[in-house]
Every structure is written in C-alpha cells, then in structure tokens.
Amino acid sequence: MPELPEVEVTRRSFADRIAGARIVSAAMGKPLRWPLGMAAEALAGRQVLAVRRRGKYLLLDLSEGLLLIHLGMSGSLRFAGPDEPALGEAGKHDHFDLQTTRGLLRLHDPRRFGAVVYVPSQQDALARKLLDHLGMEPLESSFTFEAFREGLAASRTPIKQLLLSGSVVVGVGNIYASEVLFIAGIAPTMPAREVRPRKLRALHEAIRVVLAQAVEQGGTTLRDFSAANGMEGHFQLQAKVYGRDGLPCTQCGSPIQLLRQGQRSTFYCARCQKA
C-alpha cells in the first residue's frame, strides 16, 4: 500500500507540471471505492491551481472545487506531458483520466480500493469526514515533541498499532513503523503511554528523519509502486528490520523476529527493542 512517503513522492513528481493547466476532459472507468460525486465531463474547463497532500490523500485545488485522490492498496498515478511518450488508451485497470492542457493524469488501480472524489471545498462534509480526523503531519513544523508526547500519553494501545492508526501522526505505515521503532529501541507491543521519555524523544526524531529519507529516496517499491514519472523508490534497500525476519540484526546480530499485530506483520529485534 502506498504510504505517506510514496504519496508525497507522487505529488512532487507531477504537481509543478500540472499546476496552471486547464482541464480538457475527464473520464471515469470502473467504479472505485467511492463515487466521484459529479459527472466527470463537468470538470472540463476548470483550472488545476495546485496539488497538495493531507495524510495519504492528494488534493487537487481547482478553480472551482477540489479533487481528493487516494491510491488505496495498489493504486498509482501517471502523468505524461505533451513532450513525453503518450500513455495510450486506458487499460482495464485504468479508472480515471484527467486530460489537461499540460498533459494526461491517469489513475491505475488493479484492486480498485483507491478513490477520486469531487467536493465543492475542503469544508464540505465529505471532505471533513475524510480529513479532519487525521493526525499531525510528520514533515511539518507543527509535529513537535510536546504534541507527540501528549497524543500518546493516555493510550494503552500498543505503540506500533497506535502509529498505524494515524490518529496522532499520519504516514507512519507498516514498513516505516517497524523501522522507527527499531531505531528508537522500543518494543512494538509496548503500550504507548508506557514508553519512557528518552525513547519517546528518540521515536519522535526517528519518525521525522526516516520519513524524510524515504521521500528523498523516492519511497519504497516492494511490488509495483512508482511515481507519476515512472521512477521507482529505493528506501527498501536500507531497511534495517522490515522483511528481514530470520536475518541477523544489524546492531547485535540476533535474528530479526516476526509477529502479527492486527493482521499486519511486525519486524523487530527482541534484544535491541526492550521496555
């Protein structure tokens, strides 16, 4: 599943190229997770002002209204400008085409858990339902240690599962949660409120550093993720615990362990990650 770094990499790969473009046409393929909320052809004539991100949602600000795009489990965007090779006819897994004066933006989503939703503004009830519950953005200055500590203070939820929930901080998906907990030396099963202050500060810093590094390295490509320009990510090449069960820990040499938490795989070092 594309996580925050992958979504941010996707945004950066086409945001500047589509900004200022006028929509020529729009077309929906098979139904996605939620309906578009309007006739696709009614988008024609509007201008794409900017592309923002909130959590794992891409927000396309239009001259009238807003498009929210979520990549779901297997979705990816492609953008081809007028001087680039054409994307060709939409295939069976291509479910949204936005043709603009600066190029074609296409959503490819084999499992169709993604979504493209139109709302009149970010204050619309649907937009607020999707966005208002999201936690702090880890790459922004508002993600302070004090706010992070306060968000964890009363929770008995295991720290890894709380990170995955996105209620305190967004974007720490399964891969990155295993990595930051290893760096901070925190057991993934530790109740959030019991994490000691020193390790909590280390976790806060690890989240900022790891997610920033993942963005700079193009995200993580385990199966088929690539940005809107077709480039794959490379963060997986430096993973210290994720996907390394049975292999020696890079710090102590003990075998990396695998456990299931909420149907998700957790990778950790039992020796390095203690209470």
Residue 81 to residues 18, 84, 99, 121: CA-CA distances in angstroms? 9, 5, 10, 27
Active site residue 3: yes
Catalytic site includes residue 30: no
Q: What angle do CA 139, 145, 149 make, to 5 degrees?
A: 120
Cα–Cα dist 107/94, whole Å? 6
Find the helix or strand (DSSP H, E) in which 257 lies: strand 257-261
The letter for the amino acid at 125 is A
Catalytic pick among 3, 6, 8, 137: 3
**Residue of 17, 53, 56, 244 marked catalytic:** 56
Kindly name the residue from 54, 193, 201, 264 that is annotated as catalytic: 264
Rounded Cα gap, residues 243 and 266, in angstroms: 9
Closest by CA position to 62, among listed 70, 52, 77: 52
Residue recorded with tokens 């925190």: 186
Separation CA 110–CA 41 (nearest Å): 23
- Note if 56 is an active site residue: yes
Active-site residues, by number, are 2-3, 56, 264
